[in-house]
């Protein structure tokens, strides 16, 4: 039923995008892409925007899916752990404004460095297992979507969302909110791809885990459970 899942992805993404655009059209400024908090920050912030809130929710869902894969699909753990860690790093980055304001300034940068270092160490120590996991699951629609989302986030959004580029395009008509709106919606598209990719990867990882030989203890436990259910 993969086609049904892809149809649901299409409907969900289309609905969320439609709802965001209609919100702004019905009440200009409701997306809160530029909120001036004080005179010291004339450029404003978009951290309160529904777009960024949805981005954070998607990252949380991606991290939860990867945690599930790492827990219940051991053979895919070398892939799921780094992917989940990357989602966590991005989530902390999305929440940096609130971490700076409510906890300790720049603490989020330290947390990201620590998590990044742990991910590098984990990947290095499990490099052979990572190769085996990739060989078992590739070609993978889920990993392909994750890669496409990474291209959008790491390359397209960063280069095309550059402030100097928009200042050059718009000239005297330049307004920062134009650049922010474009960048945030492009990032949202990348996160949508990540969400679909994480779900598809989880389905494929589950199929692999179910097809793999199970330990004797697990087989006996499943047999006892099946026999107990059969008595009724």
- Give pLDDT tens digits along the chain (232 positions): 778 899 999 999 999 999 999 988 988 888 887 776 655 555 666 677 888 889 999 999 999 999 999 888 888 899 999 999 999 988 888 887 777 777 777 788 888 999 999 999 999 998 899 898 888 888 888 999 999 999 998 898 889 888 888 889 888 888 888 888 888 899 999 999 999 999 999 998 888 888 766 554 455 565 566 566 555 4
pLDDT at 61: 93
Tokens 């059969």 — which residue?
230
Q: Supply the pLDDT for residue 217.
A: 47
- Residue 120: how many CA atoms within 13 Å on its side-chain side? 6
- Of 108, 67, 61, whose CA–CA distance to 84 is shortest? 67
Residues 6+ positions from 215 with CB-CB distance below 8 Å: none
E strands in the chain: none
> pTM value?
0.81
Looking at residue 213, its pLDDT comes to 61
Q: Which structure tokens are listed for 212?
A: 């793999």
pLDDT given at position 216: 47
Long-range contacts of residues 65-73, Cβ cutoff 8 Å, at least 24 apart: 65/198, 65/199, 65/201, 65/202, 66/198, 66/202, 68/202, 69/201, 69/202, 69/205, 69/206, 72/206, 72/209, 73/202, 73/205, 73/206, 73/208, 73/209
3-class SS of residue 35: strand
Residue whose C-alpha is closest to residue 186's, from 151, 141, 147: 151
DSSP-assigned beta bridge partners for residue 35? 45
What's the CA gap between 95 and 52, in Å, rounded? 9
Are the CB atoms for 118 and 124 separated by under 8 Å?
no
CA-based nearest residue to 155, from 130, 127, 118, 186: 186
pLDDT at 162: 86
Residue given tokens 């992917």 in the structure block? 83
Give the containing element (helix H, strand E) for 41.
Answer: none
């Amino acid at each position: 039923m993969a086609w049904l899942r892809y149809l649901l992805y299409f409907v969900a993404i289309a609905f969320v995008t439609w709802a965001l655009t209609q919100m702004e059209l019905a009440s200009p400024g409701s997306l809160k892409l530029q909120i001036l908090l004080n005179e010291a920050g004339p450029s404003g912030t978009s951290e309160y925007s529904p777009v960024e809130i949805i981005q954070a929710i998607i990252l949380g869902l991606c991290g939860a899916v990867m945690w599930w894969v790492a827990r219940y699909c051991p053979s895919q753990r070398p892939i799921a752990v780094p992917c989940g860690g990357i989602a966590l790093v991005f989530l902390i980055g999305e929440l940096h404004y609130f971490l700076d304001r409510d906890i300790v300034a720049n603490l989020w940068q330290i947390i990201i460095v620590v998590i990044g270092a742990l991910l590098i160490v984990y990947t290095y120590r499990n490099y052979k297992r990572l190769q085996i996991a990739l060989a078992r699951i590739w070609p993978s629609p889920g990993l392909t979507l994750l890669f496409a989302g990474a291209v959008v986030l790491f390359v397209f959004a960063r280069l095309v969302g550059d402030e100097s580029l928009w200042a050059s395009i718009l000239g005297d008509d330049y307004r920062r909110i134009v650049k922010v709106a474009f960048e945030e919606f492009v990032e949202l598209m990348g996160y949508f791809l990540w969400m679909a990719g994480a779900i598809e990867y989880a389905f494929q990882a589950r199929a692999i885990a179910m097809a793999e030989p199970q330990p004797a203890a697990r087989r006996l436990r499943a047999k006892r459970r099946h026999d107990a259910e059969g008595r009724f």
